[in-house]
């Protein structure tokens, strides 16, 4: 993968992570955190889709590497929601 392809992949992951955090109603951090949440969300979303037998749809291919946009957004929202619940349980507040 070239540098341009990698940067595009990071941008798409950041957008998916940001949208997922918005849907969950909780912000975990800045741009780098959104990239991380986007990638983790893609893995979580694909895992859930495979376990439930759901199809892959709206997958963007960047230099031969597929990135499941919809599942990344759904997985990011789930991941953010879980982190928000854990933070609230351990700290007693939702900051």
Do residues 10 and 64 touch, judged by C-beta distance below 8 A?
no
Looking at the 3D structure of the chain, how many domains does it have?
1
Cα–Cα distance for residue pair 16/58, rounded to 1 Å: 12
Over the stretch 16-39, which tens digit does the pLDDT of each residue have? 888 888 888 887 778 888 888 888
**Helix 3-24 with 31-52: angle, nearest 10 deg:** 80
What confidence score (pLDDT) does residue 93 get? 64
Residues 69-89 have pLDDT tens digits of 898 899 999 988 988 888 888
Residue 59 burial class via C-beta count within 10 angstroms: exposed 0-12, middle 13-18, buried 19 and up? middle
Q: Is the pLDDT of residue 94 over 70?
A: no
Q: What is the residue range of 11's domain?
A: 3-91
pTM of the shown model: 0.82
């Amino acid at each position: 993968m070239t540098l341009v392809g990698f940067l595009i992949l990071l941008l798409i992951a950041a957008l998916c992570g940001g949208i997922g955090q918005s849907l969950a109603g909780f912000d975990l951090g800045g741009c780098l955190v959104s990239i991380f949440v986007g990638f983790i969300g893609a893995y979580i979303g694909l895992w859930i889709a495979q376990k439930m037998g759901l199809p892959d749809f709206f997958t963007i291919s960047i230099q031969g590497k597929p990135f499941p946009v919809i599942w990344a957004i759904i997985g990011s929202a789930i991941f953010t929601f879980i982190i928000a619940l854990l933070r609230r349980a351990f700290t007693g507040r939702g900051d």
